Amino acid sequence: VKSLGILTVVSDLGTALAQAVKSDWTRIGGSIAAEDVHQPGEASFRPILMKMLSTKPDAIYLTSSNGKQLAQIVRQGRELGYKGIFLSYGAFEDPEVLALGAQADGCYYSSPSFDAANPGADGRKFVDAFQKKYGRAPNAHQANHYDLVMLYTAVADGLAKQNKPLNGATFREYMASTLPQYKGSAGAYKFNYKDGSVLRSSIVKVVRDGKFTKLDDLG
């Protein structure tokens, strides 16, 4: 992949992702073939895709967080004859995408290092409980939200034991002093309280033969 198209959903997350992808892609010597935006509720992407495909991108990066919308973009792109690669992030791991069948093969995305088939000791309880309730394996998005609730619970319980009120100031103080790292169902989190960033263990996955398949660790 040398030339990249970026299709950005109009949202804070979508814009931030697009900016990060564009910055890193050009930094390593890649070119931007085309950029365009779409609305969160949009369903017909053919006009946008036709314009983007005319620039012949080797791959198109998608920033939507809606699985149904991501699947619609891929399907409509394939129907327009696009045989290149679609790239995305963890939100791409959605049943709506797998429902596309062979049209989704060869789509790549980065994801937290969560593998429902091999969740490890920290993730097994969550995966088993989710499977029992919903009859299917959870994706990285759902593991992230589970970790968020459990992290919040750990801090709230800690403050309760110290007889301290639960508010923004005490929450941050407790977290910063006791949780430089957190090991959850979706992998390890390392918090930087100075700039508000989080480092995550990550992997790259591909859609292959109707499954979301891990390719490699990203660190």
Task: Give dist(CA 195, CA 154) in Å, integer.
Answer: 22
pLDDT at 200: 85
pLDDT at 219: 67
User: Cβ neighbours of residue 82 under 8 Å, at least 6 residues apart?
Assistant: 49, 53, 60
pLDDT at 214: 87
Question: Can you list the residues of the chain whose pLDDT is less than 70?
Answer: 219
pLDDT at 201: 81
pLDDT at 18: 96
| 50, two tokens | 């036709």
pLDDT at 151: 95
Would you give the end-to-end CA distance of the chain in angstroms? 21
| 110, two tokens | 């980065």
pTM over 0.75: yes
pLDDT at 121: 83
